[in-house]
């Protein structure tokens, strides 16, 4: 495999990990006012992502850093073309991080309410904007961007609600299941619209668009999402979370499959790539560092694997 192909696959893998892990982070942040009725329950909901949310953001940093190093022309084109939405994403991530960190340090309920508002807004902005950015990159239209934003926002809500149901007990768990089913009313139809449009995209990313395996990923992603809803209805929280996570993985595979080999208008991966020496050095760094990062994150999820109750969050 050529190094340009290898690093395109690595970047797709990093973005996929980010979408899966931050997807439920964003959903939980938006659902705090919906799922909680007391301060103890708000702590219970936020406690589901408390030990992992900042580690999940490492995937975004690593993905963007890898793009900068391996494909500087792609990185420059993407960030300059979508400068405003990317800046709003960064603002949202900062506001959300401040809200999550300060919430445990302030004493007054009004201050905690401001922190909760920051967490909600800071979660909703990137949840909507990442979908809008990648949909616009594929289809180059405002309608597609709006549909992509609605899809990614509703998918994060569904994925986050399923995660809370998996990680909590009591009334919050029951409310999370109901919230997941309500979010599915928007998420599943928008998934059909947006994901069926990925293989048919003929704009900036006409390379693998229409390939059989891209169609398979897109359609299987819709099926996995529907399966996640059905499993939530039956109370199978673990399998439901695995299904929604699989849906995101397959949707991301279809997205990057459609982007290959022209991830940006008028630019192929070969034209966007760094020189062979730079890619060679990056490969050694990645082979050494990536297993440690993956191992540490897997260990973190294993340590904090137990369900949370309202009094012990």
Asked if the model's pLDDT at residue 313 lies above 70, the reply is: no
Asked if the model's pLDDT at residue 312 lies above 70, the reply is: no
Question: What pLDDT, on the 0 to 100 scale, is given for residue 277?
Answer: 92
Question: What pLDDT, on the 0 to 100 scale, is given for residue 83?
Answer: 94
Tell me the two tokens of residue 176. 């999370």
Question: What pLDDT, on the 0 to 100 scale, is given for residue 311?
Answer: 66
Cβ-in-10-Å burial (0-12, 13-18, 19+) of 261 comes to: middle
Question: What pLDDT, on the 0 to 100 scale, is given for residue 266?
Answer: 81
**Which residues have a Cβ under 8 Å from the Cβ of 241 and sit 6 or more positions away?**
24, 159, 162, 163, 166, 228
Rg (CA), the chain: 19
pLDDT tier for residue 85 given thresholds of 50, 70 and 90:
very high
pLDDT tier for residue 139 given thresholds of 50, 70 and 90:
confident
Look at 201 and 241; give whichever has higher pLDDT.
Answer: 241
pLDDT in tens, 111-126: 999 999 999 999 999 9
Asked if the model's pLDDT at residue 38 lies above 70, the reply is: yes
Question: What pLDDT, on the 0 to 100 scale, is given for residue 212?
Answer: 86
Tell me the two tokens of residue 86. 């990317």
Cβ-in-10-Å burial (0-12, 13-18, 19+) of 80 comes to: exposed
Domain boundaries, the chain: 11-200
Question: What pLDDT, on the 0 to 100 scale, is given for residue 120?
Answer: 96
């Amino acid at each position: 495999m050529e190094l340009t192909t290898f690093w395109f696959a690595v970047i797709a893998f990093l973005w996929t990990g980010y979408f899966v892990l931050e997807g439920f982070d964003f959903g939980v942040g938006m659902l705090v006012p919906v799922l909680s009725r007391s301060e103890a329950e708000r702590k219970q909901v936020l406690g589901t992502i408390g030990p992992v949310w900042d580690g999940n953001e490492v995937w975004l940093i690593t993905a963007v850093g890898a793009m900068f190093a391996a494909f500087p022309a792609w990185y420059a084109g993407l960030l300059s073309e979508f400068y405003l939405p990317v800046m709003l994403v960064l603002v949202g991530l900062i506001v959300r991080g401040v809200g999550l960190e300060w919430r445990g340090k302030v004493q007054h309920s009004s201050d905690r309410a401001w922190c909760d508002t920051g967490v909600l807004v800071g979660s909703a902005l990137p949840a909507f904007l990442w979908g809008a950015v990648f949909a616009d990159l594929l289809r180059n239209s405002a309608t597609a961007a709006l549909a992509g934003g609605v899809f990614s926002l509703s998918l994060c809500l569904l994925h986050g609600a399923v995660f809370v149901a998996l990680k909590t007990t009591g009334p919050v768990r029951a409310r999370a299941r109901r919230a997941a089913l309500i979010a599915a009313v928007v998420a599943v139809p928008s998934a059909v619209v947006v994901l069926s449009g990925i293989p048919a995209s003929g704009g900036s990313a006409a390379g693998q668009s229409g390939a059989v395996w891209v169609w398979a990923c897109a359609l299987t992603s819709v099926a996995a999402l529907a399966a996640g809803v059905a499993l939530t209805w039956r109370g199978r929280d673990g399998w439901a979370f695995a299904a929604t996570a699989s849906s995101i993985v397959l949707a991301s595979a279809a997205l990057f499959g459609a982007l290959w080999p022209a991830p940006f208008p008028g630019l192929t991966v070969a034209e966007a790539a760094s020189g062979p020496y730079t890619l060679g050095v990056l490969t050694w760094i990645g082979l050494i560092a990536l297993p440690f990062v993956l191992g540490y994150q897997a260990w973190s999820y294993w340590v904090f694997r137990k369900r949370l109750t309202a009094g012990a969050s």
